[in-house]
Structure 1
């Protein structure tokens, strides 16, 4: 998360309020679920998500929601319900972002890539898709996948292979995908931060070429959240 610049401190009584540099004090009579982190009493994950809706961008808020879901075992459905039921000031904005939170997301860049696709109006890929051996044991996990047309969208944070062994392992893995009929489209950080439009065009062309029916044109709404 981006640094806010202030530590927010909430107390239950006005006389306990203190004004200090880089501290923003609040007073509330509402009950708050409290977590203890490194000996410090903090707001619980869901209240923190709602509070952060007041200053985080939409993209960063969804990234936070995905991370909270994974770290604390809060399902996306639970987060949506909690935001809708909350009467906190930023609960409405939080509820909108919560609708885009998904279970099982592994990284902020995976969230960014999925949101780029979805906000452009393209079909949403399945998150955390798994394949299994014939005996039912787990075989592979894909971050973003279109199972019906066997397309994998993969974010790769490495600018080059970490080692010869890693390079060979990647080649073997992709050969196995080819044998099973999967097509992999790899996206790097450049494809998200510097060339998002090209990334969207690559994805749309691949979906169409693999036989997906009714792929819509790219919606320019994505530009509100990603630099073109």
Structure 2
């Protein structure tokens, strides 16, 4: 092909080979490009993006998690698959920023180093296929993530998984119970904290802050209200026995006027019923978690919830260090 292609995008151009048109919209190696007639100079030009050493794709291709996974797998054996953070990104799981891609091979002889790719080895694996790309099964991926994530971040992932598929909790429990090797123990520990019906990662974090401090665990998204009036309202976390509610208020609540007005209305109604509601925002969890716990602890004691410890467990400080 020459420069006369005009405005036609690179990924739309067929380059003839001995077999079939060369697909530039999928990651390919330098060797494959040269065999298809792409010159080294053109490969270094603006029409292509180098994803890894010797692995390229057309510059107009959106670099989705699936494309990045396929690029990472390009130079590995056909039995290799996307795993760990790479598989989680394909599944849309809520992760902190984790650099690089992860692949797993089934034999030590298939391992090799590529910049930006972490290569693992497993003797056995459960794999699914997503758009032609081999990816860790969801339950296996949860155990893999246990080698990368903190306890709280892993519980965030678990809560997300069972919210998307409540029936999947049993499969996750069975898989973790049988798992061995790296991540297995940490996965089982995190799974013990996973709850169904959690609406957001920040709700998980707030609940974990409370539980790791040794306070009685609140109910998740419990319906609160008078049955006679058929006026039930759902709140993030609560202790019904003492009429105490804890809610996380995300930024989107402030940005949407109608949501903000609705929240004010329902909070006024709940106050009228004798409930107390404590509202927290991101800084209360990330910056001043100690103050947050003090507020909750005082209310639990004042309202005489049974089994509330006099002093908080210091365990929470390992996971929520806060900032000055």
Alpha carbons of 1:166 and 1:56: their partners in 2 closer, same or farther (altered >3 Å)? closer
Residue-pair matches, total: 227
| Higher mean C-alpha deviation, range 65-74 or range 105-114 | 65-74
RMSD: 2.6
Q: Partner residue of 1:109?
A: 202
Gapped regions of structure 1 (runs ≥ 5): none
Alpha carbons of 1:159 and 1:190: their partners in 2 closer, same or farther (altered >3 Å)? farther
Counterpart CA distance in 1 for 2:229 and 2:169 is 26
Structure 1 runs (4+) greater than 4 angstroms displaced? 13-18, 74-78, 135-138
Alpha carbons of 1:10 and 1:140: their partners in 2 closer, same or farther (altered >3 Å)? same
Partner residue of 1:174 out of 247, 261, 267: 267
Aligned ranges 1:46-195 → 2 under 5 Å: 46-76=139-169, 78-131=171-224, 134=227, 139-158=232-251, 161-162=254-255, 164-195=257-288
3-state SS, counterpart of residue 235 of structure 2: strand
Q: Which has the higher contact order (CA 8 A, sep 6+)?
A: 1
Aligned pair 1:23/2:114, yes or no?
no
* CA displacement, residues 61-91 of structure 1 (integer Å, 9 cap, x when unaligned): 1111111222233554543342121123220
Counterpart CA distance in 2 for 1:17 and 1:148 is 56
Is the CA contact 1:49–1:65 (under 8 Å) kept in the aligned structure 2? yes
| Higher mean C-alpha deviation, range 16-25 or range 185-194 | 16-25
Counterpart CA distance in 2 for 1:164 and 1:28 is 51
Alpha carbons of 1:142 and 1:165: their partners in 2 closer, same or farther (altered >3 Å)? closer
How high is the TM-score relative to the length of structure 1? 0.87
Gapped regions of structure 2 (runs ≥ 5): 1-94
3-state SS, counterpart of residue 190 of structure 1: helix
Q: Partner residue of 1:200?
A: 293
Q: Partner residue of 1:212?
A: 305
Counterpart CA distance in 2 for 1:163 and 1:11 is 47
